[in-house]
Amino acid sequence: MRDAGPQKRAVTHDVTNTARAQLLHEIAASFRLGASAFVPCLEGRMNSVGDRVACPFCCHGRIRIDMYAAAGHHAPDFFSDDNKRQAGGMTAVHAFVFPGQGSQAVGMGQALHDAFPAARAVFQEVDDALGQHLSTLMFTGDAAELTRTENAQPALMAVSIATLRALEHEGGFRLADKAALVAGHSLGEYSALAATGAFGLAETARLLRLRGQAMQRAVPEGIGGMAALIGVDPDQARAICEAAAVVPVDDGAEPAREVIELANDNGGGQIVVSGAIGAVERAIAIAKERGVKRAVLLPVSAPFHCSLMKPAADAMGEALERANIAEPVVPVVANVTAAKMRTPAEIRDLLVRQVTGSVRWRESVMAMAGMGVTSVVELGAGRVLAGLVRRIDSSLATASAGTPDEIEALLKTF
């Protein structure tokens, strides 16, 4: 097992006004940007990777290291050998992402459990926290039971964190050194927060168990539903929802409406809508009438990420008030804002809003790319998010790790 090494010190930029002006002019001209975009970095106010990612000067991934030398100062540690991808002198800027429900499958995590003691410890801690042999259900259990949201949510989180722990213990990997940003899809946001130290592992497992139970209780089975619309943009999907919300009534009767809202904007023309089952079925019919490429009812037990989940949001609000939340060591891009969240108060508020709010995954990926990310690595079960990322922005490099072979391959790239 390799030592992760000492914490890297922040690097500030002590340059003369003349050198600063010259450097800003060269870089701004190269990217057709205003020089003022780079001033905060050159003034030395960017003191961590989490701060520097907001400045394209430090994180764009296309800025040449020799530009720093031309101005008479050293490149920041973000351009260290640990973070450098030797391809034409470019620097890879990594975001790590964590999958959500739908990626679960019986057998997930078993190879990790068998290969890595650190992964076994994760599964045992989750089992102990829940008072259930969840790992047995994951490895050899019934698929329908695993798919129940109260089981799938902590199970997927456990696989993601087991993957991360294996990377840490087998390869000396430290997320704080490698990641500029992290994000997760729906429940994956909890995995991202656990990975960055905002939540402890046992507390994350208990929160996700409660989240799954509260979501299932919020709407009786059969009352709500979700549908995937393929080949639409958000405006088209909203128009379909607006039409589908209207309940057909007899002439002269008072118009009625049902809830139907955008639940996920996954990118690549894939949008999921959620709400009352009647409205969802009407949305499918309307989408087909309007020439949408594909519209299908999803096999889910509740209408997640819509206003019908308000009781679940209230339950999570109470639980999160009691939860111990720390500031994450890497900024987390939130589902509902597609922007960074850092403080415990922000995290608490946005996780509550996430229960009823839309997962803005397309915008989150675009935001990460806009903040300089050039590579997205998915940790956990499946490769769903890596595929979505490629459809959103084909210029982003992608990788997935959730098995021993994938972990070994990933470690060779860092």
The pair phi, psi for residue 224, each rounded to 5°, is -120, 170
Name the nearest CA neighbour of 264 among 234, 284, 290, 240: 234
The H or E element containing residue 203 is helix 201-218
pLDDT tens across 372-409, in order?
Answer: 999 999 999 999 999 999 999 999 999 999 999 999 99
User: Quick one: the chain helix, strand, coil %, rounded to 5?
Assistant: 50, 15, 35
Give the lowest-confidence range in 33-47, 149-163, 323-337.
Answer: 33-47
The pair phi, psi for residue 282, each rounded to 5°, is -65, -35
The pair phi, psi for residue 251, each rounded to 5°, is -55, 135
CB neighbours of 240 closer than 8 A, spacing ≥ 6?
A: 229, 232, 273, 283, 286, 287, 290, 292
pLDDT tens across 50-65, in order?
Answer: 333 333 333 333 333 3
Give the lowest-confidence range in 18-22, 174-178, 257-261.
Answer: 18-22
C-alpha pair distances (Å), 180 with each of 46, 100, 128, 298: 13, 21, 32, 34
Residue-range domains of the chain with CATH? 17-81 (no CATH), 97-218+307-411 (3.40.366.10), 224-297 (3.30.70.250)
Q: How far apart are CA 10 and CA 196, in angstroms?
A: 19
- Structure tokens of 43? 């003034």
Name the nearest CA neighbour of 134 among 117, 158, 118, 111: 158
Burial class (CB in 10 A: 0-12, 13-18, 19+), 315: buried
Q: How far apart are CA 5 and CA 167, in angstroms?
A: 14
pLDDT of residue 301: 84
Give the lowest-confidence range in 67-71, 141-145, 194-198.
Answer: 67-71
pLDDT tens across 336-351, in order?
Answer: 999 999 899 999 999 9
Identify the residue whose tokens are 């894939």.
270
Please list the active-site residues. 186, 305
Burial class (CB in 10 A: 0-12, 13-18, 19+), 17: exposed
Identify the residue whose tokens are 């209408």.
303
Q: How far apart are CA 56 and CA 227, in angstroms?
A: 38
Q: Which pTM was predicted?
A: 0.80
Does residue 126 contact residue 135 with C-beta atoms inside 8 Å?
Answer: yes
Query: DSSP character for 358?
Result: -
Burial class (CB in 10 A: 0-12, 13-18, 19+), 255: exposed
